[in-house]
Amino acid sequence: EIVLTQSPATLSLSPGERATLSCRASQSVSSYLAWYQQKPGQAPRLLIYDASNRATGIPARFSGSGSGTDFTLTISSLEPEDFAVYYCQQRSNWPSSFGPGTKVDIK
């Protein structure tokens, strides 16, 4: 099973700041990586798939990059509704697996 690690565990930022989240895979997943946002009491929401493609309805301030084992989710300017937990997920090898998450909270 491919293990995903995310850093940092917590990111404390202010609205308007830029957020950079990292996801690293234990082996290459090519570009088969997604990012999800989860708010308390809600199901995860797909943001990015295939490393860099925004899902339907996702604002342009969210962008993804990377390939192989190192990936980044960038939120260019944090809006109040962006404070949440973010998970990466790989679908390169089954079973699919998720990272442990990065919490973006208000500084």
Partner 1 sequence: QVQLQESGPGLVKPSQTLSLTCTVSGGSISSGDYYWSWIRQPPGKGLEWIGYIYYSGSTYYNPSLKSRVTISVDTSKNQFSLKLSSVTAADTAVYYCARDYRGYFQHWGQGTLVTVSS
Nearer to partner 1, 17 or 30 (CB): 30
Which sign, positive or negative, has the C-alpha torsion 72, 77, 78, 82?
A: negative
Are the C-beta atoms of 61 and 43 separated by less than 8 Å? no
Q: Which residue has the tokens 């989860």?
A: 38
CB of 61 to partner 1, least distance (A): 19
DSSP-assigned beta bridge partners for residue 21: 73
Q: Does 91 bind partner 1 (CB under 8 A)?
A: yes
How far apart CA 25 and CA 16 sit, in angstroms, is: 29
Nearer to partner 1, 60 or 94 (CB): 94
Are the C-beta atoms of 17 and 66 separated by less than 8 Å? no
Considering only residues 19 to 58 of the shown chain, the ones binding partner 1 according to CB under 8 A are 32, 34, 36, 42-46, 49, 55-56
3-state secondary structure of 25: strand
Nearer to partner 1, 24 or 98 (CB): 98
CB of 36 to partner 1, least distance (A): 8
Residues that bind partner 1 (CB under 8 A): 1, 32, 34, 36, 42-46, 49, 55-56, 87, 89, 91, 94-101
